[in-house]
Amino acid sequence: MKNNPQNSKSNTPIPNSSTGNLGDIFAKRLSQLGIKKQVDAAMICEEFDRTIMEVFGEKGQRNVRAISFRDGILKVAVTSSAWAQEINLRQIELQSGELRIVFVIEPLLGSGKIYSGN
């Protein structure tokens, strides 16, 4: 009988690599830890920021930043309402047409007022 190692913090068995691919094992473990939604949200924000860099370059990177993703709503900080409008106009190019985007106007990417683009 094969002995499966256990995680010392949660005393749950660490999945054996022969039971599935690494992505499946990782996703299952994140679910067990109760952090899968948070990790998925962070990945969506990171991908949005990466896409902003690809589409707008460094200027976009300085003026637009994803803050959070929850319940299908992506919260984005922008330095002006002009940037919020530009993101709204280019949602198809940004491949975010299925997301609802809510903007926070932050001239210095500090705290600011809320502007809903949709």
Question: pLDDT value at position 1?
Answer: 45
The tens digit of pLDDT for each residue in 5-24 reads 554 455 555 555 455 688 77
Question: pLDDT value at position 42?
Answer: 86
Residue 48: burial class (beta carbons within 10 Å; 0-12, 13-18, 19+):
buried
Domains of the chain: 37-116 (3.30.300)
Ranges of beta strands (E only) in the chain are: 64-70, 73-78, 100-105, 113-116
Chain centroid to CA 8: how far? 29
Question: pLDDT value at position 46?
Answer: 92
At 31, which amino acid appears? Answer: S
Say how far apart CA 93 and CA 69 lie, in whole Å: 19
* pTM of the complete model: 0.63
Q: Which regions of the chain are under pLDDT 50?
A: 1-3, 7-8, 17, 110-112, 114, 118
**Phi first, then psi: what are they for 111, rounded to 5°?**
-90, 155
